[in-house]
Structures are given as structure tokens and as C-alpha cells.
Amino acid sequence: MIRKLNFEYKIIIIYLLLGGLWILFSDRLMHSFISNTELLTQLQTYKGWFYVIVTAIFFHFYLKKYLIKIRNAELKAKESDKLKTAFLQNISHEIRTPMNGIIGFAQLLDRDNLTEDQKQSYINIIISSSNQLLSIVNDVLDISLIESGNIIAKSEVVNLNELIDEVYLSLLPTINSNVSFEIKKDLSNNKSIVITDKSKLRQILNNLINNANKFTKSGRITVGYKLKNNEIEFYIEDTGIGIDPSLQDKIFDRFTQAEVEITRQYGGTGLGLAICKGNIKLLNGRVWVCSEINKGSIFYFTIPYKPIKENLTREVLNSSVKTLNSNKVILIAEDEEFNYLFIKELLKKSQIETIYARNGRQAVELCLQNDNINLILMDIKMPIMNGFEAAQEIRKLRPNIKIIAQTAFAMVEDRERALNAGFIDYISKPFNEGQLLTLIDKHLS
Ligand code: ADP
């Protein structure tokens, strides 16, 4: 029970207990051995002093231990507060910059007499600023998902060599002009096929390569992997500004950036490496850095090497039958019309026909009227009738129809809730062309 008491009550109780016990037993002890009253009075004084000194020593050690704990906690809180303030300042700047680009150039687009080239360049700026903004929102969401344990890693067949090629090709155009970009693969194509989470692995590589590029004005960036003791060890090596040894562990903590001046010069939110670390942990790996100021850095991370058998690999890889050119019908239930228009635009090149429902109720009615619908893309949050209710109603009419949930929430429980509610799959917004087409292809085949 004493453990539950506040510190100040504990001190008083201990003090009173010790005092009481001391008075009781010391008096009895003295009276049983000494009968001389003069001596007894003198000893009372020494007894008092003894008690004061012993309790002072006891409280000194007890309080010291407690105060050290409090001071450390205070220091940590202050540090975290400072980090959060710096983060908020940074993020506000990081959000405002692309926002300015989007608002400014959208207004310019409204002007008359613009040439086609001008329009195109304004549109390009708006798209790239939007992507920048989206990546910040994604980072903030990712870190909160990782820290709340709300994210799970998938197990899928991944060809590491192909993935590295893909990452290389997608990032090559963004690499600084004075920097050469190289990739090195340790395993043959067959042996490089493993089970891991492809999108997480791609995200980690993208993040580390983007960082390498950000902090390397000239020289070389090399990305590769080696098989070591049943682990794949990836490395991202650069010849950039390097990182001070005292900060090499800290930069993996959220909001932490190596130096304030560097932050100003290079921008960023200090979330990238914390997300990488979280994702690598999800893949059952480790991450660390070796770096020297002004020479460069090598970021290493591992994932377990779980190869899969070659014939099985072929089967899985060849199984993506292209169904997008067949005459299929998809019902898209979505309250935001521009989201529907976006999906329709992505499907324009295919033979797929789309039917539009603005809410869950309409989706149910359209299902009643059209028995040729092959697949439903169902938004979850909709007015009048939400996606869960609509799916339930539709299932009563057409028990075997495939319904895919689409939502702007990217929490694990949303995904699980959707899958438990009978949705066949789940896609979180925003999605890109590749993600949508692969998903549709998978379920129409
Ligand atoms: P951000 O890049 O958004 O600031 P990160 O978490 O990705 O956040 O990186 C944290 C810090 O680590 C960076 O601000 C930078 O100081 C340092 N850092 C990361 N990668 C490198 C690198 N390749 N070279 C030098 N410093 C780096």
C-alpha cells in the first residue's frame, strides 16, 4: 500500500515511524541498562543527535535518488518540448512552401493569354508542390501509425533486384547533376526473390536515397545489398556532408535533425529516419549509420533473408493476368465527385465501364438495377448510407459480388474492420494509377 502513496506522505510516514520506534526502543533499552538519572538525561541529548544525524543521512540518499529521477524526467520533457517546438516551426515552413506554390500558380492559371508552355509549367509546379505536401502528410501519419503500433508489415514475394532497379530508375532523374548514382546487387535474379513487404522496403530505400541526395552536392551515391549470415544487408553510401559522431544515434529519433543551421539550409521535418527505423523494425531488421564529417555517410539496414523456391516464384509472378482489357463493369460509390472523376480518368485507357453512385443508398439501388456489375469500389464515409451499411445491403442482393473498400483513413483497424465486414480488399486514399489498376486487375481476374 505504501508504494501507492505520494512521495511527501511516504516521507512523513517513514519519519514518524522511525522517530516513534527510536523513542520507544531506545528509551526501553537505556532504562533496562542504566539507572543513573543524570547519565540518562545526558544520553537523551546524544540520542536526539543520533536520531537527527541518522535520519538526515537516510533522507539525503532517499531524496537524492528521487530528485535525480525527477531532474532527468524534467530534462527529457524539456528536450522533447524543444524538439516539438522546432518540429512545429519546421513543419509549418515545410507546409507553407508547397502551399504557396499551389495557391500562387493555381491563381496564375486563371489568367487570360497564357501560352500552352506557361500553362504546362504552372501545372507541373502545382503537381510537384502537391506531391511535396502529400509526402509531409504521409510522414506525419506514418510516424503516428508506427508509434501507436497501428501498422503491420505484409508478406509478399519481392524480387530485390527488380525493386532496386525500379527505385534506381524512379529516383535517377532527381539526383543532383554533380552526383553519380550507382547500384550494386549481390545475388542473381533467382536468388534475390524473397518474402518481405515491398512497399515498406521501397519506402525505406526511397527515403535513405533521397536523404543521401539531399546532403550530397557532388560525388557519388551507391546503393546495394549483400547477403550476410542469413540477412540481407542494404547500404546507401554517399560522399556528402557527413554526420557528427555525437548525433549518429540521435538522428533516428523523431523530429531530430543534425544541426539547426543544417536544418535551415536543407529543410525537412526530421521524421524520415524515425519512419525508416520504425519500418525496418516492422520488417524485423536493424538500422545504423557510419559517417564522417565532410567525407560522407553509409546507412546500413538489414532484413531477414527469406528466399522462396524458384518454380513457386514464377507461378506467383506470372499469375497477374491482364483483365483490364475485358468488358467489365465497376460501380464506384464515392461522395466526392472529383474522386470519382479521377478513378474514371485512370480507367479511361481500359475497356472497363464505370457506374457512379454518390452515396451508399444509391449504390444499393444501382446494384439492383444493374446485374452486370463485376466489382464495386466502395468509399466508407458517405452521406445517407455509409459504405459498411451499403455493402451489407448489397451482399443480401448479390452474395458473391466483390466489394473493395476505399477510404482516406489508413489505420490498421480500418483495414481490418473493412475485411471483417466482408470487403474483399482495401485501398487507402490517395492511391496512384499503379495501385488502383493492380488491385482491380487482381480482383477481376
Ligand atoms: P529530415 O531529412 O526531414 O530532416 P530525417 O529523419 O530524414 O529528417 O533525417 C534527420 C537528420 O539526419 C537530417 O536532418 C540530417 O541532419 C541527418 N541526415 C540524414 N541523412 C543524412 C545523410 N545522408 N548525410 C548527412 N546527414 C544526414
Mutation test of ligand 1: which of 94, 256, 273, 277 has the most ligand atoms closer than 8 Å to its C-beta? 273
339 and 308 share one domain: no
Cβ 331 vs Cβ 359: under 8 Å: no
**pLDDT score at 2:** 62
Residue 68 lies in a domain: yes
Whether the CA torsion 356, 358, 362, 363 is positive or negative: it is: positive
Alpha-carbon Rg for the chain in angstroms = 32
- Domain termination site, one of 293, 314, 335: 314
Compute, in angstroms, the gap from residue 206 CA to the centroid of ligand 1.
13
Q: Please give the Cα distance from 412 to 403 (Å, whole number).
A: 18
Residue 10 in any domain: the answer is no
Residue 256 lies in a domain: yes
Domain check: are 421 and 293 in the same one? no
Among 262, 287, 314, residue at a domain's last position: 314
Residue 223 confidence (pLDDT) above 60: yes
Residues 296, 415: one domain? no
Distance, in Å, from the CA atom of 98 to the CA atom of 137, rounded to the nearest integer, reads 12
Give 299-316 pLDDT, tens digit per residue.
999 999 988 754 444 444
Residue that finishes a domain, picked among 266, 286, 314: 314
Ligand 1 contact via 269 beta carbon (within 6 Å): yes
Each residue of 88-141: pLDDT tens digit? 877 887 888 889 999 999 999 988 888 999 999 999 999 989 988 888 888 888
Q: Is 330 in the pocket of ligand 1 (CB under 6 A)?
A: no
For 305-339, letters b (16+ CB in 10 Å) and e give: bebeeeeebeeeeeeeeebbeeebebbbbbbeeeb
Query: 218 or 422, which is more confident?
Result: 218
**Residue 431: inside a domain, yes or no?**
yes
Q: Which helix (H) or strand (E) holds 220?
A: strand 219-228
Pocket test of ligand 1: the residue of 176, 251, 253 to mutate, having most ligand atoms within 8 Å of its CB, is 251
One domain for residues 431 and 339: yes
Q: What is the DSSP string of 57-102?
A: HHHHHHHHHHHHHHHHHHHHHHHHHHHHHHHHHHHHHHHHHHHHHH
Query: How much distance in Å is there from the Cα of 147 to the middle of ligand 1?
Result: 20
Query: For residue 215, how far is its CA from the centre of ligand 1 (angstroms)?
Result: 8
Is 129 found in the same domain as 186? no
146 C-beta closer than 6 A to ligand 1? no
> DSSP states of 288-357 as a string?
EEEEETTTEEEEEEEEE--B--HHHHHHHHHT----TTS--EEEEE-SSHHHHHHHHHHTTTSS-EEEEE
Task: Decide: 270 in ligand 1 pocket, CB within 6 A.
Answer: yes
- Sort strands 402-407 and 375-379 into parallel, antiparallel or unpaired: parallel
d(CA 211, CA 232): 21
Q: What is the CATH number of the domain that holds 216?
A: 3.30.565.10
Task: Indicate the pLDDT class of residue 321, thresholds 50, 70 and 90.
Answer: very low
Q: Look at residue 147 and tell me if it is in a domain.
A: no
Ligand 1 pocket check for 213: Cβ under 6 Å: no
Number of domains in the chain: 3
Cell reading at 187: 545475388
Residues 112 and 222 in one domain: no
Q: Measured from the CA of 267, which atom of ligand 1 is nearest? A: 4
What is the band of 325 on the pLDDT scale with cuts at 50, 70, 90?
low
pTM over 0.95: no
Ligand 1 pocket, 212 CB below 6 A?
Answer: yes
355 and 290 together in one domain: no
List the domain range (segments joined by +) for residue 92. 34-142
Residues 168 and 265 in one domain: yes
Confidence of residue 320 (pLDDT cuts 50, 70, 90): very low
Mean pLDDT of the chain: 85
User: Is residue 149 in some structural domain?
Assistant: no
Vertex 129 angle, CA 114 and 337, to 5°: 80
Q: Give me ligand 1 centre to Cα 74, in Å.
A: 27
Nearest to 287 by CA among 213, 215, 231: 231
Same-domain status, 165 and 283: yes
285 CB under 6 A from ligand 1? Answer: no
H-state helical runs in 215-309: 260-266, 272-282
Ligand 1 centroid vs 372 CA: distance in angstroms?
53
Q: Which atom of ligand 1 is nearest to the CA of 262?
A: 16
- 204 and 306, same domain (yes or no): yes
